[in-house]
Amino acid sequence: MAKYKPKSIECNNSLVPPIYVGEKQWPKELLANKHCSITPFQWVNDFAVDVNETQSKSFHFDATGSLNEDNLFTSFNKLPNWLADFYMVVCSDSNTSNMTFKFYYLTIYMNASRIAQINAVRKTHRSDQPNFYLLGIDSVSHAAFEYVMPETNNFIKNVMNSTIFNLYNVVADGTTSNLLALLTGRIEEEFHETRRGYANSDTVDEFNWIWQELEKKLGYASLYSEDMPSFGTFQYRLLGFRNIPTTHYLRPFLLKAKEYNWACLGRDLEHKILLYWTEVFVEKYSKYVGLSRIPWFAFTFLSEISHETNPSIKVYMDNDVANNLRNLYNRKLSVEGLDNTILLLFADHGSRFSRYKGGIQVCILWLNIPQCFAY
């Protein structure tokens, strides 16, 4: 039987505003001698975000088109419910008021007041505490991972010398139950009612999330990044979060910037943007020089490209996931990367749909513990 060849995914739609992630991607060439209106994002709740152009600030870029992020942040730091990582940018030529292009900018802002809170907690803790990187892929069985993601499998197994848990099994049917167990150590029935349409139901803020434990007790910075905002692990049938759950939280950005081209975000594959944003997060906190080192916790979950499709479509993720791990693993020790990081590469369950439903209970779980922990 011929090997299945998945359909191509086209994301380069000129009608969709592009998305640039971090200072390295800032489009300097496009912005030379441009007037731009930059609008910040403001938190409303887990199902709405405010991008109000009455809050915009005007910026004029010189011939270099360079961005000074400190100036950008200073312009909005008094704004209520400001989401400092996300911006909408609309630009025009210097000689005309006509819009020439629009894009979204996604970055990692290290808020000074938040850093002060972290440093206050960190005074009483060791400086060598590990980072945690939890990278999840929806609907990947143990067998399917080896078949459709061979590059990632080879890198995490043979280069990183990670450990595979061959008998790792699901807690229940569905993403919510399995991720809840992973991130809290408990099952849904042990918490108060959070389901939509049920009496006295409330949000999931009060669950004992692992990142909250790390933030409040040990002074960690945290990131939660998940695609497919129309579903959402804790928003589709649960009531989501009332307050921003982590130091950096991607969902509000996606509620505005996600044009519903399947598997795409802006003009690129959605999972690539999530993975690169995680890399920017790691780089920012690894380079931080302050009173003490700031350890971090990152949870990135990739769902849209893999959830309801033929398992072979995951080949489009293989190179990007492998590169994400490679980029972090190969960083010089002066930029921490994965040198002091516990890595978990996992799936919530195997494929659950139609003729591809197989190995649903036995999914992947790779664990990598840094060599320095052995001494």
- 55-110 pLDDT, tens digit per residue, is 999 999 999 999 988 889 999 988 999 999 999 999 987 666 666 899 999 999 99
Whether residue 217 sits in one domain with residue 305: yes
Q: What per-residue confidence (pLDDT) applies to 155? A: 96
In a domain, 164, yes or no: yes
pLDDT at 361: 64
Q: Is 140 exposed, middle or buried (0-12, 13-18, 19+ CB in 10 A)?
A: buried
Q: Of 64, 89, 106, which marks where a domain is finished?
A: 106
First to last CA, the chain: 50
Quick one: pLDDT at residue 96?
61
User: What is each CA distance from 314 to 4, 307, 308, 319, 367, in whole angstroms?
Assistant: 12, 10, 11, 10, 21
Specify the pLDDT at position 1: 37
Residues 6+ apart with CB under 8 A from 265: 11, 19, 227, 254, 257, 258, 259, 273, 274
pTM: 0.92
Same domain, 101 and 240: no
Question: Quick check: 50 and 41 in contact, CB under 8 A?
Answer: yes
Please tell me the predicted confidence (pLDDT) of residue 332.
44
CA 169 to chain centroid = 24
- Whether residue 60 is found in the same domain as residue 88: yes
Q: Do residues 275 and 223 share a domain?
A: yes
Does residue 278 contact residue 341 with C-beta atoms inside 8 Å? Answer: no
Q: Are residues 102 and 128 in the same domain?
A: no
| Nearest C-alpha neighbor of 131 from the set 35, 61, 65, 221 | 221
Domain span at 149: 112-373
Q: Pick from 55, 72, 106: which residue ends a domain?
A: 106
| 45, 121, 240, 241 from 244: Cα distances, Å | 8, 20, 10, 7
Residue 15: inside a domain, yes or no? no
99-106 and 82-93 as β-strands: parallel, antiparallel, unpaired?
antiparallel
Count of alpha carbons within 13 angstroms of residue 189, beta-carbon side: 2
- The helix/strand/coil state of 371 is helix
> What is the spatial distance between Cα 249 and Cα 263, in angstroms, rounded to a whole number?
20
Tell whether the torsion through CA atoms of 351, 354, 356 and 357 is positive or negative: positive
Same domain, 122 and 96: no
Q: In terms of domains, do 51 and 159 share one? A: no
Give me 296's structure tokens.
């971090």
Sign of the four-CA dihedral 244, 276, 137, 311: positive
Amino acid at residue number 204: V
Amino acid at 374: A
Q: Are 199 and 125 in a shared domain?
A: yes
Same domain (yes/no): 202, 287: yes
- CA 304 – CA 225 distance, rounded (Å): 13
- Residue ranges of the chain with pLDDT lower than 50? 1-3, 332-334, 354, 356
pLDDT the model gives residue 360 = 55
Using CA atoms in the order 50, 305, 270, 267, what is the torsion angle rounded to 10 degrees?
A: -110
Say yes or no: 130 and 227 in one domain: yes
| Helix-then-strand count for the chain, H and E | 11, 15
Does the residue 13 lie in any domain?
no
123 and 213 in a common domain? yes
Cα(146)–Cα(150) distance, integer angstroms: 5
Residues in the chain: 375
Which pair of tokens denotes residue 208?
């004992």
